Structure 1
Amino acid sequence: MTRSRIATQPSSRPGAVGRRSVLLGAAATGAVTLAGPRAALAAESPASDPATRKPVLVGANPGLQLFDEDGACTAYASVWRVDWSPHGTGDALVLWQPDGVTVCSSRRELARWVTEDFTRHFPELDGLPWHDPVYRPWPVLLHLGLADGLVARAGTIEVRASGVLDVRSFTTDTFDLGGSEHSLHLVLGPCAEGSVRVGGRRLPGQITRGGTPERPSSSAFVTEAEVWRV
């Protein structure tokens, strides 16, 4: 569902608030209380005992979200490295744009699962239109590290995140995915820079950064040691 420390100032862009990047930047360890509509949805859904939950995905899910000057989302990229799951292993790249969703992977069944059961329900996409994804059989070439960030390429798409600002852990037992409450643990690295290119053209928009010098947050981040349980 991970980054040399430099000072950052809280972002004033509306789109920077309430997104998954801010949620992940909210805590170092321990359970986190969700805010807003997703918290209400999670509270209304039947809750399983976190102690009995089983892993359904082990891997990493770095990503980034771009915003225009008015705070509107211009693009969101969700990159998956699945080391273990009931649907097998492999990599996938999900790119949301206002006019469509593109999913790239040489493992279509796996890509469909992480797209429809995970990425589609992430807070970054709350209130944004969801189009039927176009699946491309393009393998994902992925370099991911807590020290130096992310480079992911698939076909004509390239996603980059760099300048890791901090490395800290995150845990919650109340991450709602389409009405199903999940437990999530990961190591997070918010990043100072991020971009998406399609066909060599850089997509419009910028990442947002906020938080404090001691606990920076960013809409571009890398993760490691990511475990989803249900």
Structure 2
Amino acid sequence: MPLTDPITPGVVDWTGENPGILLKDTDGNFSAMALFFRVAWSPVGQGQVLLLYGTPGAAEGTVGAPNVMLADNMPLAAFLKENFIGKLPAFRSVPAFDALPVKLAQTVRSTGDPMGHRYTETVSGEGLTVELVWEDLGPPRALELMPNQVGTGQHTMFTLLVPANDAKIIVNGHLLPGAVGERIQAGFKTTTAFLYFSETWVLPPEVA
């Protein structure tokens, strides 16, 4: 059946990939949090950015569990922090957000197969190597979400979600503590470890 209007109104904010891992401790608090961005288009160009809260409860992380951004496009890191990450309550409320250091990512690579059991993203730069690992992957689900269904509260978002039932964040060979938990998105149950592919964020005309 043809769409009544094949063009989504509004302004494209950015598009690309946005997998993440949010680990929790036994009390249900976040023990480590990571978002990875492989941006194909944005107003400030393409690039790859990793946000890591190795110690979410502290303004400054530790050597083994830093709070940091790694990016190969510094304007993109600033754009995402101000226009996207800063609108996600779970990430904006972390004590490290305001003074989060940004370091140059020198290598970024992915391995595995999102149709298989395991997928990884590894980002290295300035003495840090951060590996994100998603395992026990579930079937994909295509999502079209309205502003009241997304974390920013402002965007229309289209994406392909592949949930993971197990995940790890590894910093310089050190495994950060925590386990994958459950979350509810748009009324269905999923997990706090996710691969988002073909993700496009659009600001509706009334917001843009």
1:173 shift after superposition: 2.2
Tell me the distance in 2 between the aligned counterparts of 1:110 and 1:191: 27
3-state SS, counterpart of residue 52 of structure 1: coil
Q: Is the 8 A contact 2:141 2:160 kept in 1?
A: yes
2:16–2:38 contact (8 Å) kept in structure 1: yes
Q: Give the structure 2 partner of residue 7 of structure 1.
A: none
Paired letter, 2:192 = S
What is residue 105 of structure 2 aligned with on the other side? 138
**C-alpha contact 1:78 1:119 (8 A) present in aligned 2:** no
The count of aligned residue pairs is: 176
Q: Is the 8 A contact 1:87 1:110 kept in 2?
A: yes
Partner of 1:152: 121
Q: CA deviation at 1:78?
A: 0.3
- Counterpart of 1:172 in structure 2 is 145
State the distance in 1 between where 2:91 and 2:131 align: 20
Give the 5 Å matches for 1:79-98.
79-96=36-53, 97-98=55-56
CA contact (8 A) 1:103 1:134 kept: yes
Q: 1:93, 1:161 → 2: CA distance? A: 15
Q: How does 1:69-218 map to 2 (within 5 A)?
A: 69-96=26-53, 97-98=55-56, 99=58, 100=60, 101-125=67-91, 127-129=93-95, 130-143=97-110, 146-148=114-116, 150-155=119-124, 156-174=129-147, 175=150, 177=152, 181-209=154-182, 217-218=190-191
Q: Judging by fraction of residues, say which structure has more strand.
A: 2
Letter matched to residue 77 of structure 1? A
Q: Unaligned regions of 5+ residues in structure 1, if any?
A: 1-49
User: Of Structure 1 and Structure 2, which has the larger fraction of its residues in helix?
Assistant: 1
Measure, in 2, the Cα distance between the counterparts of 1:57 and 1:210.
24
Contact 1:94 1:115 in 2 (8 A): no
CA-based RMSD of the aligned residues comes to 2.3
Q: Is the 8 A contact 2:34 2:51 kept in 1?
A: yes
Match of 2:206 in 1: none
1:21-36 aligned at under 5 Å gives the runs: none
Q: Which amino acid aligns with 2:119?
A: L
Structure 2 contact 48–71 (Cα < 8 Å) conserved: yes
TM-score (norm 2): 0.75
Q: What is the one-letter code of the residue matched to 2:42?
A: S
Q: In structure 2, what is the Cα distance between the partners aligned to 1:60 and 1:104?
A: 16
Counterpart secondary structure, 1:181: coil
Asked if 1 retains the 8 angstrom alpha-carbon contact of 2:159 and 2:198, the reply is: yes
Shift of residue 77, structure 1, vs aligned partner: 0.3
TM-score after normalising by structure 1: 0.69
- Between the aligned partners of 1:126 and 1:120, the Cα distance in structure 2 is 5
